[in-house]
């Protein structure tokens, strides 16, 4: 095994991130050039950078209210709180992200906010399913998203993608309006520019999905470094994948969980994530010291927490996996 497999993975994830963001930026520049001329696209980038640097972050508490999440205070979940504090300390995230409980039997966890005000939400189904070792891996994964500024990075990608879509749609509408002039031979219609206008939104969306998958790989890698236990997170991922696929569906419909090709997924395939994590077991860059406090008992919650609802689909907001 490579003596520095962790460094290799980290470098690969960084290069993929730069290439994907660069590809999205290039598409936006080309679309801006088609519509407004070559001298306009630098101002488009200035506008995007100003927007991302001046717009305030959405409060995580507002987002969590959409899921009826409840704050887990230290006296209610002392084990989880101590585990979260230790993970936050190792990840260098201060203040420690707040923990929230979602009354749902779905198996999910997600992080929201920024490093200055972050929160991690855990569903009741996840807390009941995972062991303390596996839960530590999941918490470290979500903390890694916060430490790596993934929310802001994905917001930037989303802004670029939306701008590309808006400008492409505007260009196509202008081409349709000028179609009579084109047919009369009065106005030219550059075919390459029109094809670019049609293809750019789809290409930008694919690059954005690819960026999301790369950041998941990086969060897995960072989580392994935080906990010193890549097997714990790998076990959690395998257990979540297995629980989400019932026995009769695995027998009768073995491919029902994967109807879309890999290019259309926000998360990488679980098998690939597990394979990469297990490769890190003997890597010298993964510290070999336990993350769990000696007396941690897992995600037990007091009986005062409310009734758990079955999983349900949301039209406008999705629970992140």
SS3 sequence, 279-318? HCCCCCCCCCCCCCCCCCCCCCCCCCCCCCECCCCCCCCC
Predicted model pTM: 0.83
Asked if omega into 95 is within 30° of 0 (cis), the reply is yes
pLDDT bracket for residue 2 (50, 70, 90): very low
Pairing, β 98-102 against β 70-71:
antiparallel
Q: Considering Cα of 221, then 226, then 229, then 234, what sign does the dihedral take?
A: negative
What pLDDT sits at residue 312? 52
Per-residue pLDDT tens for 125-183? 999 999 999 999 999 999 999 999 998 889 889 989 999 999 999 999 988 888 777 67
Evaluate if residue 319 carries a pLDDT over 80: no
Catalytic-labelled residue, pool 142, 216, 279, 285: 142
Q: Quick one: average pLDDT of 2-25? A: 83
Per-residue pLDDT tens for 202-244? 999 999 999 999 999 999 999 999 998 999 999 999 999 887 6
Percentage, residues of the chain above pLDDT 90: 44
Evaluate if residue 260 carries a pLDDT over 80: no
Tokens of 121: 């939400």
Evaluate if residue 187 carries a pLDDT over 80: no
Smallest CA-to-CA distance from 133 within 230, 270, 278 is with 230
Residue pair 243/107 in contact (Cβ under 8 Å)? The answer is: yes
The C-alpha atoms of residue 110 and residue 120 are separated, in whole angstroms, by: 6
Q: Quick one: average pLDDT of 30-38? A: 85
pLDDT bracket for residue 1 (50, 70, 90): very low
Whole-angstrom CA distances from 169 to 51, 94, 156, 172, 194 are 21, 42, 20, 5, 11
Q: Quick one: average pLDDT of 184-200? A: 82
Percentage, residues of the chain above pLDDT 70: 78
Residue pair 9/276 in contact (Cβ under 8 Å)? The answer is: yes
Question: Is residue 241 among the annotated active site residues?
Answer: no
More confident residue, 287 or 115: 115
What pLDDT sits at residue 262? 62
The C-alpha atoms of residue 269 and residue 254 are separated, in whole angstroms, by: 15
Q: Quick one: average pLDDT of 297-320? A: 52
What pLDDT sits at residue 308? 64
Burial 199-236 (b: 16+ CB within 10 A, else e): ebbebbbbbbbbbbbbbbbbbbbbbbbbbbbbbbbbbb
Smallest CA-to-CA distance from 108 within 120, 95, 125 is with 125
What pLDDT sits at residue 313? 45
């Amino acid at each position: 095994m490579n003596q520095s497999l962790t460094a290799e993975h980290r470098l690969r994830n960084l290069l993929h991130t730069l290439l994907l963001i660069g590809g999205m930026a290039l598409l936006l520049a080309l679309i801006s050039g088609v519509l407004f001329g070559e001298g306009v696209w630098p101002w488009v980038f200035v506008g995007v950078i100003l927007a991302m640097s001046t717009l305030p972050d959405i409060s995580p508490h507002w987002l969590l209210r959409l899921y009826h999440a409840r704050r887990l205070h230290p006296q209610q979940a002392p084990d989880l709180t101590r585990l979260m504090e230790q993970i936050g300390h190792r990840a260098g995230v201060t203040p420690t992200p707040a923990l929230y409980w979602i009354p749902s039997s779905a198996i999910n966890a997600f992080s929201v906010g920024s490093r200055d005000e972050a929160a991690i939400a855990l569903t009741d189904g996840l807390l009941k399913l995972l062991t303390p070792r596996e839960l530590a891996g999941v918490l470290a994964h979500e903390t890694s998203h916060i430490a790596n500024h993934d929310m802001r990075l994905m917001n930037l990608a989303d802004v670029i993608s939306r701008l590309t879509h808006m400008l492409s749609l505007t260009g196509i509408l202008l081409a349709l309006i000028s179609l009579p002039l084109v047919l009369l031979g009065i106005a030219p219609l550059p075919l390459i520019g029109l094809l670019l206008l049609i293809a750019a939104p789809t290409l930008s969306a694919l690059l954005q999905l690819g960026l999301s998958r790369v950041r998941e790989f990086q969060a897995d890698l960072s989580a392994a470094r935080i906990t010193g236990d890549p097997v714990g997170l790998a076990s959690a991922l395998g257990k979540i994948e297995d629980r989400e696929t019932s026995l009769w569906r695995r027998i009768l419909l073995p491919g029902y969980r994967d109807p879309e090709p890999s290019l259309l997924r926000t998360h990488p395939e679980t098998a690939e994530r597990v394979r990469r994590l297990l490769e890190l077991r003997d890597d010298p860059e993964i510290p070999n010291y336990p993350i769990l406090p000696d007396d941690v008992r897992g995600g037990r919650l007091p009986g005062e927490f409310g009734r758990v609802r079955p999983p349900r689909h949301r039209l406008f907001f999705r629970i992140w996996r």
